[in-house]
Amino acid sequence: MWDYTEKVKDHFLNPRNVGEIDNPDGAGEVGSLACGDALRLTFKLDEKKRIKDVKFKTFGCASAIASSSALTEIIKGKTVEEAAKVTNQDIANYLGGLPVEKMHCSVMGREALEAAIANYRGQKVTKEDFEVVCNCFGVTDREITHAIRENDLKTVEQVTYYTKAGGGCGQCHPKIEAIIEKVRKEMDKEAPPPKPEKKKLTNIQKIKLIEDTLGREIIPALKADGGDLDLIDIEGNKVYVALRGSCSFCPSAEITLKQYVETKLREFVSDDIVVEEVRP
């Protein structure tokens, strides 16, 4: 069973603003029967151009219905400009969070809103204007790009959770990967990640720091898995360690050492650390 928050359950069992407005100022529809969920959003503005009335109709699971209901509550009383800033995260947050596999429900809400606003502004956005990347669920490159940026997505699996793209036959996975790579490059350029300057250490400082890092960061984690580690020697940037306990029997011990200990030491001590295993 899904672990839904009380708020999700409430909005599913008692959805707010169900229906369709006649002669709406804006109307948007996303999703389809084939995809398993769909949302039709309609709104009307008052004389101050604020959203006076908004209604939804949704076909889908509990979190799709709850997300739609939440969306209507969020945008009620907002100007169109304000509403346009609502993100899928806002919808998920309003509900106290959604299971990660269900995040696509919040994205569907945001997309319906976008479509309705575009409709109000007289803009035509059609799927045909964009490349459909995932045929199984009819997801375009634009939607995927948007979801990656808005939710800081890094993997295909995450993209699937947020947009459904890639959740069927899997044929589109390489294309999604390419989009992730491209978008993340753009994102990196826009905001270069602050590189922490690691100051040059004396040998004594380095040894001390390695010991500290092992004791504070690494050994407790290994112990939690029933293992342990002894520092044998340090030579320049080479750190010699022996694995003890269950780790040394484990076929993945090699990976544990290389990936885990080394990344940790590189993170805390210096980028050029190399870890070597010695038999005790």
Told to check if 134 binds ligand FES by CB under 6 A, we report yes
- CA-CA distance, 54 to 47, in Å (whole number)? 15
Report the greatest alpha carbon distance in the chain: 80
Which of positions 103-142 make contact with other proteins (CB under 8 A)? 136-137
Torsion on CA atoms 75, 80, 84, 139, rounded to nearest 10: 90
Distance CA 55, CA 18 (A): 5
Q: Does 135 bind ligand FES (CB under 6 A)?
A: yes
225-264 residues in contact with other proteins (CB under 8 A) are none
Q: Which of 61, 105, 136, 247 is catalytic?
A: 105
Of 81-89, 131-139, 178-186, 188-196: span binding ligand FES (CB under 6 A)? 131-139
Candidates 28-36, 84-92, 218-226, 267-275: pick the segment binding other proteins (CB under 8 A). 28-36
Among residues 277, 212, 267, 199, the alpha carbon closest in space to that of 241 is found at 277
Contact partner at residue 277 from other proteins, ligand FES, none, CB < 5 to 8 Å by partner kind: none
Instruction: Read off φ and ψ for residue 194, nearest 5 degrees.
Output: -60, 120
Q: Which of 27, 28, 37, 119 binds other proteins (CB under 8 A)?
A: 37
CA distance 254 to 249: 10
Q: Is 105 one of the catalytic residues? A: yes
Q: Where would I find the H helices in 95-164?
A: 103-120, 141-151, 156-163
* Binding positions for other proteins, rule: CB under 8 A: 2, 12-13, 15, 18, 20, 29, 33-34, 36-40, 57-62, 64-65, 101-102, 136-137, 160, 164, 167-168
Q: Which residues are catalytic?
A: 35, 105
* Binding positions for ligand FES, rule: CB under 6 A: 134-136, 165-172
